[in-house]
Structure 1
Amino acid sequence: MNTPKLSRAHLARIVLVQASLSVAAQAHAFADQPLPTVTVRGTVADDGLSLDRPHASGSRLAMSALDLPASAETLNAATIEARGDLQIKDAVTRTTGLTDSSSPGNGISYSARGFSGNSSIGLLENGQRLLVGSGTATTPADPWGYERIEVLRGPGSVVHGSGTTGAIINAVRKLPRREASVEVLLGAGSSESLRAGIGATGALGEAGAFRVDAYAGRSDGFIDRGESRHGKILSSMSTTLAPGVTLYAQLDHAEQEPRRYFGTPLVGGRLAGHLRDQNYNAGDAMLRYVDDKAVARLNWQVAPGLEISNELAYFKARRDWRNIESYSYDPLADMVERSDYIGIRHDQEQTANRLEARFSSGSNRVVAGWEVSTVNFKHTNNSPYGGASSVAPTGFDPGSFWDTPDPLRPNFATDTLTHAFYLEDAYRVNQRLVLLLGARHDRYKVDRANLLAASGSFDATLRSNSVRLGATWKLAPDTSLYGQFSTGSDPVTSILSLNLANSRFRLSDARQVEAGVKQMLAGGRAEWTAAVYDIKKDDIITRDPNNAALSIQGGSQSSRGVEFTASAALAPGWRVDANAVYTDAEFDALLEAGGVSRAGNRPADVPKTSANLWLNYRADAWRASAGLRHVGERFISNANTQTLPAYTTLDASLGWSLSRNVQLQLNLRNLSDKLYATTSYGSTQYLLGDRRNAELTVHWRY
């Protein structure tokens, strides 16, 4: 069943590689055709909220954030660098209302507007999305090579499809440019941490441009056997093939070996400072992600008001886990009990194509498109995940993962065919009023093969429709009021990992009402936004009230909240960035095991409050900044019987421009050495945040 689609994926990869390699030759054939003029606005660390700039993640019509009737935020590369953020999740969780719920099992995961996980928060690169297999997302991971990160809060299904009720996070790549430039980053810090990056762009022939970004890093981590390694190379090129016809091609490869740490056991139900450095995983544990991507995009300016584009993309992800994942402290024996010797492998390939047409005439702009993809996913594991051992809290032999009695075997494979049709229309009624209409239809056809038995194979079809109706009213050129009604959908579980029990379930439905205000003051020296929203999500999985042994779709949850974001130049050289949210999320109807009602409870991993404050100062060749990050108390399960404590951490940085081209920077993280947990991994162990650490970097640009 897998062979035909797998071969198409390999064929697509060959075609994309050939297209990339032939670009230079094609450029010479049209050497007399210059690249189209591009206007570039420089970015600096104090750019503020960028309300006057296009926000590609909130709409496919290049609307500015000020015109967009939705909560949108942009974080540029200079700001990320100035704050010393190592990973994209470090930067994203400084934006409004996004909190980290990542673990080694789900890779990268967030919570936003009362919804958590990779079935509700979409992760994209350049608007492209790798469908999530078994709840795990691994890319994009670090900010090197990206121009900015865009966040759209609330249902984004009209633009990006299902699984986006909480938010969209889109990392936007740096583009190839004909003007030559090179940048080099070197960094060294605590725990023998080292990292290096190089980026270069320039002309390619008479009508093209290239860009290459390479990055690598390693660290011994803040815990025993906490080593991590990562590296990537991003390459892209663009060229003019004929008047009005441009080609963009991209080839990427990334490898990650995150630290093999699944948490620290609680002692007496509390975080144990004396166990902070301990790692209870096996000595030969493994955690590895490998991601490849190839993209070719052709743009044709058919007429002054009509553009057609086609984008073909190929993704491949390979993920491996060999770990002892569950720990609990036995106070009577003063031992740590270990279980769940879990081995898993994911093999995932996705080939996707997007055909899109953009039309503009006077006050009206329209975009329509068709997306199609095939996804091949294979899951190998060692279920039923046996094995058990006991070790002393400190000074123990970590043992071997292969003490497990369970062999790794291919478990299941799915072939998924997706189709989506979408339409967006922005109409400027007059100088003050902009109306936005969007609609989308998604269809997923899943074929699953049970690789362990002859029975259990099936096919299922899932469908969803989503709409967005919005309006923006300009009170003044720099002040907007907006309102929108939008709908979306989330899968009840990962679509690629759909099993027989879940195959009869529909996609869950979500709807949101939102209103807000956005304003720029003093010519952009100050910007602020505020939003209120109400989201209701139906058809979540619950127990049958007539038979608690059965699962049905009939549960619902809702979320209401207030968000505030501001950036202001207080005085020459000083700028403050701040955001704060209040989220009131609860289950309206939910029955769990035994028919126990969770109605009125808050969903797991959702804080009521979160906030960020960052103060920046610049004077001549110096710059300094300091920031607070606060995450409120969260529950670890829907039962609301156990909490993750609230925490506030302090970070800072100090930069010195040695010359026009060289910047030296000291990054200080968790200055108070706060003992805190970022998320839970079951009821007996929490994943701890990093200790206080320091890093010195030098960034050279030419």
Structure 2
Amino acid sequence: MDAEPGPGETPEGGTGSRLDLDPYEVPAQVRTKNMDELRRRGAGVSLDSALGQVPGVNPTWRYGGFQQIRSRGFRAIILNDGRRDDRAAIVNSHPQGGLWSVDRIEVLQGPAAVLYGFGSVGGVVNIVRKTPTETATYEADFAAGGGGLVQAHTGASGPIAGGLTYRIDAGYTRENNFRNHEMTRLEGAFSLGYSPHPKHRLLLRVGINEDRYNNDSGVPTVETSSGDREVPDEIDLSQRFNTPQDFLNYHRRDFELAYDWRIHDVLKFRQRVSYTRDTYDYFSTEGLAYDPAAAPNEVQRTFYFYFHHHWFPLLSQSEFLLDFLTGPISHKAIVAYEFNAMLGAYSDRASNIFDEDIPPIGLGDEYDPAPQIPIIVDGRLRADMFVHSVFAQDHLSFPLGFNLLVGARYDSFTFEARRDQLDPGTDDVTQRGPVDDRQDHLFSYRAGLVYNGVDRFSPYVSWSTGYRPNSGLGISTDLDGDGRPDFDREPEQAQQIEGGLRFNVAERFSLTAAAYGIWKSNVTYSRPMEQIDTAGRVRSHGLEVDATFEPWSWMRANLGYAWTQAQFVEFEVDGTSLADNAPAFVPPHSANAWLSFGPFAGFGVDVGGRFNGTQYGDNQNLIEMPAYALLDAAVWYERGPLRLTVNGTNLTNETDYFVSAIGNQVTPGAPTVVFGQMNLRF
């Protein structure tokens, strides 16, 4: 293993255990994507492009600014250096910040509630940030090209004095794609490390994100004679139908303090406290309709939607790590307490927008007749969340190469919410709504057995459970009309059985493979206008394979494939049974492949691509999103600290494919994009 990780750091592959274990000792699949390699290949611009390199993981964007991730057929959550993003307890999708301060991305697939608590039923995506270094390093990056892409970044790290180190990053990104969907982002990160003594280490982090989007509600579909839905030929996939007023403004501030204390050779204490101010102001045309018989030359825009979310998650993690022997058995264990709170969270609403008529827009028209409308805030949803958690995990190493990992977790979850009416002029509460609450007491477990008696060969089997409270999803709905949020949904429950292996030959060839089955109950799915559907039971099983082959220092091949078979067992929507249907955004087959050559006299080439099989854009399986394969390439030159790269994505110019869907609308994928990069490291 490498040197012991510092405070707030995740060791390579450590997402699968929260212990300083070699990945070959862990009964789970953790896939690691290095950001420098992703950027060289042109996949480091955003989180969805990075995760598109992981088979079995399907990232999608909703309305052009809200990230949603599925792993093994189910929702996965975001971690920041192992710290859960608590927005997942309240909303189904949310904006995601930039990646310039990120070192790598680790993906743990399958339920992980013992390690990371609620929400992690489909898996977790851990965004591991860069940390201060003992040696001085400096970075500068610039990229520009197709899709209106402009990126700039500068970073520095190194010692200050007397055990004090620092890291700073500042970045800018702008995109304006073929649909005139525009995003601008400013991001910054600062971290300060301090080690007054080898046994004591501190880390302070501060982060900032300022994003603006003009939104993208996709293109409408029409019903066919068979009852399915498809995009009509009359629709130009490059035309965006949102009004000029539509916006999403995202503001995020992160603060974190981490402390490590090596109490004894066998005992270590870790403490982390983090606080985030996360707000996003959103107004958008969400509903689109096209009737070729009644109005063949225009698209109807059926409704606006508005909210202004204010989330303030607070987290405290206290961990004791033990490393000891009981006879011939060695132990690496963790015992921890966590406190999560969402204090004073609220979401402002404007009821007047539902009374506004939106004028249609003509097919191919550049002029948009939609007027500016006032947004009169007159309602507020308030929510408070408190979670107390205790968990323990022990990794036992037996003679003859057997390793056993066992863990359990208890979570006490309390959620309170109410709806208030506001005076539009003063924001004063004119009518305080009744408070509704819910409490859940939930247990999660994991167990796994690994054999690594043969060097770099480790088969394993594992069993794990997970849950996701459905309380937060009800803050926007009041189906029974009592004025209270709907909190009658039981928590989403999941369990998984998995078997797999890791194999490595002389660091030249490595293979990881896993077969799994997941069973879930009380699963919820969101629809437009914040409507929630509850499915009885859903199951998923599949196979994942990753291989790396490096026969020579100048050649490397990466291959990945995932087969995912997910279907509803019990699910009824509007009186119609959806049993045996496939959940939305779960392609049964996905794959990626990359070949890297070089450097030869400083020059190198990366050629690769990804494939997604046919998937559905809705749970009713009416919107079929065709299979597609995209070819990407990068040509680069390195000399000393400088690297110059020309990237091309979707080089075959595939245009008839879709990457997301909302309601009866689908979002087209981008055609060929070519851009250049300059990277300096010294």
Scaled by the length of structure 1, the TM-score of the pair is: 0.87
Moved more, 266-275 or 560-569: 266-275
Contact 2:649 2:674 in 1 (8 A): yes
* Aligned pairs (5 A) from 1:354-503: 354-362=317-325, 363-375=330-342, 376-383=344-351, 385-387=354-356, 388-400=358-370, 402-403=372-373, 407-452=376-421, 453-492=431-470, 494=472, 497=475, 500=484, 502-503=486-487
Paired residue for 2:237, among 269, 276, 293? Answer: 276
CA contact (8 A) 1:130 1:315 kept: no
For residue 135 of structure 1, the aligned residue among 70, 83, 92 is: 92
Q: Map Cα deviations across residues 143-163 of structure 1 (whole Å, 9 max, x no partner).
A: 322111100000011111111
Tell whether the 8 Å contact from 1:324 to 1:338 is kept in structure 2 after alignment.
yes
Determine the C-alpha separation between the residues in 2 that align with 1:673 and 1:443. 51
Say which SS state the counterpart of residue 448 (structure 1) adopts.
strand
SS at match of 2:640: coil
Spell out, residue by residue over 1:537-579, the C-alpha distance to the aligned partner (whole angstroms, 9 max, x if none). 123369xxxxxxxx99781111111111111114452211111
Q: 1:346 to 1:526 in 2, by over 3 A?
A: same
Unaligned runs of 5+ in 1: 1-36, 41-52, 543-550
Q: Which residue of 1 aligns with 2:564?
A: 583
Q: Does 1:95 align with 2:54?
A: yes
Instruction: Tell me if structure 1 keeps the 8 A contact 2:518–2:540.
Output: yes
The 3-state SS of whatever aligns with 1:607 is: coil
What residue number does 2:133 align with?
A: 177
* Letter matched to residue 255 of structure 2: A
Q: 1:501 to 1:459 in 2, by over 3 A?
A: closer
Deviation at 1:259, TM superposition (A): 4.3
C-alpha contact (below 8 Å) 1:236/1:249 kept by paired residues: yes
Asked if 1:122 is matched to 2:77, the reply is yes
Is contact 1:154-1:167 (8 Å) kept? yes
Equivalent position amino acid for 2:270 in 1: S
2:576 aligned with 1:621: no
Instruction: Report the equivalent of 1:339.
Output: 302
Whole-angstrom CA distance in 1 between matches of 2:127 and 2:647? 23
- Where does 1:511-550 land on structure 2 (aligned, <5 Å)? 511-521=495-505, 523-540=506-523
Q: Which amino acid aligns with 1:612?
A: N
Amino acid at match of 2:37: T
CA 1:242/1:474 → structure 2, altered by over 3 Å: closer, same or farther?
closer
Structure 2 equivalent of residue 31 of structure 1: none
Q: CA RMSD in A?
A: 2.3
1:186 and 2:170 aligned:
no
Residue 628 of structure 1: how far off its partner (Å):
1.4
**Structure 2 SS opposite 1:108:** strand
The one-letter code sitting in structure 2 at the alignment partner of 1:540 is V
Q: Secondary structure at 1:451's aligned position in 2? A: strand
Q: What's 1:154 paired with?
A: 110
- CA spacing shift, 1:599–1:681, aligned 2, 3 Å: same
Q: Is the 8 A contact 2:420 2:433 kept in 1?
A: no
Higher strand share: 2
In the TM superposition, residue 305 of structure 1 has moved relative to its aligned partner by 1.0
Shift of 1:272: 4.7
Partner of 2:284: 323
Given the superposition, is the C-alpha separation of residues 612 and 281 from structure 1 closer, same or farther in structure 2, using an over 3 Å criterion? same
User: Alpha-carbon deviation of 1:253?
Assistant: 0.5
Give the Cα separation in 2 of the matches to 1:341 and 1:160: 36
Amino acid at match of 1:100: P
Aligned equivalents of 1:588 and 1:274: distance in 2?
A: 36
Equivalent residue number for residue 30 of structure 2: 72
| Aligned-pair CA distance for 1:81 | 2.0
Q: Match for 1:341: what amino acid?
A: Y
User: What's the CA shift string for 1:468-516, capped at 9, x where partnerless?
Assistant: 0001012511101100011111233645847546412221211111001
Deviating beyond 6 angstroms after TM superposition, the runs of 4 or more aligned structure 1 residues are 551-554
Residue deviations 1:8-29 (CA, integer Å, cap 9, x gap): xxxxxxxxxxxxxxxxxxxxxx
The reply to whether residue 262 of structure 1 matches residue 217 of structure 2 is yes
In structure 2, distance between residues paired with 1:488 and 1:192: 42
Aligned to 2:550: 569
3-state SS of paired residue (1:385): helix
| Percent identity (aligned) | 24
Q: Give the match's secondary structure for 1:528.
A: strand
Q: Report the alpha carbon displacement of residue 408 of structure 1 after superposing the two structures with TM.
A: 2.9
Residues 338 and 495 (structure 1), Cα distance of their counterparts in 2 relative to 1, 3 Å cut: closer
Check if 1:113 corresponds to 2:72: yes
Q: How far apart in 2 are the matches of 1:63 and 1:386?
A: 58
C-alpha distance 455-274 of structure 1, shift in aligned 2 (>3 A): closer
SS at match of 1:101: strand
Q: CA deviation at 1:96?
A: 2.6
1:665 has 2:665 as partner: no
Please show how residues 278-297 of structure 1 align to structure 2 within 5 Å: 278-297=239-258
The 1:134–1:386 alpha-carbon spacing in structure 2 relative to 1, beyond 3 Å, is farther
What is aligned with 1:648? 629
The match for 1:504 is 488
Unaligned runs of 5+ residues in structure 2 are: 6-10, 225-229, 422-430, 478-483, 526-531
Deviates more, 1:84-93 or 1:566-575: 566-575
Task: Give yes or no for contact 2:475–2:485 (8 Å, CA) kept in 1.
Answer: no
Shift of 1:60: 1.0
Query: Given the alignment, which residue of 238, 241, 245 partners 2:200?
Result: 245
Once residues 423 and 540 of structure 1 are traced to their aligned partners in structure 2, the CA distance between those partners, rounded to angstroms, is 27
Q: Which amino acid aligns with 1:67?
A: E
